[in-house]
Amino acid sequence: MAVKNIKLVISYDGSRFSGWQKQGNSQTVQGTIENTIESIAGKKIKITGCGRTDARVHAVSYVANFRTFSGMTPSEWKNAINSKTMPEIAIKDAEETYTDFHSRYDAKRKVYRYLISDTKSPFLKNYACYVKDAPDIKKMEQAACFFCGKHDFKSFQASGSRVKDTVRNIYKIKIRKERFLLDKDVGIISIEIEADGFLYRMARNIIGTLIYAGQGKMEPEKAAFFIESRNRKLAPPTARPEGLYLKKVFYPAGKNSVKKKWKI
């Protein structure tokens, strides 16, 4: 039987996990899904993810893939994993894709979303970053302009990364007010960053700078200085993890196509 490459689109609540990537004895999303697949297939199967997410960071549509000789259809995989895995994880979609598809190396763009609440709410303690002094959106937008485009983002890469090429292209940053439908007294600010790739903690480091600008702790124009300095120690602190979500991953047209349509 020929090997199949199964592509998964996954949403998860990262509150209880030490991130996506499997590490030691820590509970991770990757490790949890691999254990679930092992219980279904009766053998160890490694899953490849589209990138790492930190502890307490969430995902709306994370992409991963694994190879298997099993005769199960993608729909059967989806239902089996969802029935056995933790409730904090949900397989949104499963399909058989090209044999050479790689969820990480084939990704061309990613969108991260960050939520800020201006009021302390027990309903958002794990899902938005509470900022006591609500930032000014106009000032945040002014600072965001300096991040858009192709730059060396070494100043916004956390220590511990082995990546040598720190140049990335940010296509757009959208900042807007939103309503928290459960409690209209709570204001929400959402920040979306779309780029061709992200360095280790780059999204949270940029957002920390945008918050500083919005609170008047720095002039928006100083964002350009932080970028040019290529020195992480000079830039503002990292934003907290619980407000961050990996929203979407984009692939080339051919890599988005399924190899085989299955009748359910």
First-to-final CA distance of the chain? 21
54 included as an active-site residue: yes
Strand pairing class (58-68; 244-250):
parallel
The catalytic residue among 13, 54, 93, 165 is: 54
Structure tokens at 24: 């030691």
Beta-strand (E) ranges in 34-166? 48-49, 58-68, 89-97, 109-117, 129-130, 149-152
Which amino acid, 99? T
- Which three-class secondary structure state does DSSP give residue 33? helix
- Which three-class secondary structure state does DSSP give residue 177? strand
**Are the CB atoms for 33 and 126 separated by under 8 Å?**
no
- As annotated, the active-site residues are 54
